[in-house]
Amino acid sequence: MRVALVTGSTSGIGEATVRRLAADGMTVAVHSRSTRDAGSALAAQLGGSYHQADLSDDAAAGALVPEVLAVHGRLDVLVNNAGISWPVPHADLDALTAADWRQLLDVNLIAPWLLCTAALPALREAGGCIVNVTSHAGVRPKGSSIAYAASKAALNHVTKLLAAALGPEVRVNAVAPGLVDTPLTESWTEAQNLWKTSSPMRRAAQPVDVADLISAVIHNSYLTGEVILLDGGLNLR
């Protein structure tokens, strides 16, 4: 049975993704930074495993894939979903510090790189794939902050570079959602109003919308090097 590791998978997009991949017949490795009880319960419900790691710590990020391999003996799919974000007005340059930049890049860019590196031998052996969950903000000049948008734009480019370097053994793609209804974004009133009034779909995405696209990307054995926008058509405006 194929094994999928999904980072940041105890809520929101990550939880919807492990549920979808388990329904697809995969064994799922559930990950979170701190929600051990929720993660353990979810993994037990889905017949998978739970793994705790703070991905802002290089050693912890580097140890996550070996831990999954020790439990399951293989890895077919890596979904780099974990990420952090908080609103900072783009024009308020003083409100975004060097420490903020480092924190965002550590979790949103460097941790996925470390996980890809650690997973590569197993993915090559399995003929597997990587899906990076990036953002509409990495494609358009939008997003919760300039540093967040830059971290996702960088991960989009890394996705393409890895796809070119690792094919045909390993496919690498990115799914780039716009606003998604999650606990993180429920207070983002301005963004909610933007999607409700300006996007052709007149709503934010639900986590299951993103999970369905991630599943489709995983199952398409010819697709690689793509950054797929999922923003309800807001990019058309």
| Counted domains in the chain | 1
Buried-state track 212-221, b at ≥16 Cβ within 10 A, e below 16? ebbbebbeee
Q: Yes or no: say if 122 and 65 are a contact pair by the CB < 8 Å rule.
A: yes
Q: Residue 205: how many CB atoms within 10 A of its CB? A: 22
- DSSP assignment of 142-161 equals -SS-HHHHHHHHHHHHHHHH
The residue segments making up the domain with residue 112 are 3-236
Beta strand spans in the chain (E)? 3-6, 27-32, 49-52, 77-80, 129-133, 171-177, 227-230
| CATH of residue 93 | 3.40.50.720
Res 237: pLDDT: 85
Residue of 148, 205, 218, 232 with catalytic role: 148
Does the pTM surpass 0.75? The reply is yes
Q: Is-catalytic flag, 222? A: no
Res 38: pLDDT: 95
Structural tokens at position 3 = 């094994």
pLDDT tens-place values along the chain, 237 residues long = 999 999 999 999 999 999 999 999 999 999 999 989 999 999 999 999 999 999 999 999 999 999 999 999 999 999 999 999 999 999 999 999 999 999 999 999 999 999 999 999 999 999 999 999 999 999 999 899 999 999 999 999 999 999 999 999 999 999 999 999 987 788 888 889 888 999 999 999 999 999 999 999 999 999 999 999 999 999 998
In one-letter notation, the amino acid at residue 74 is R
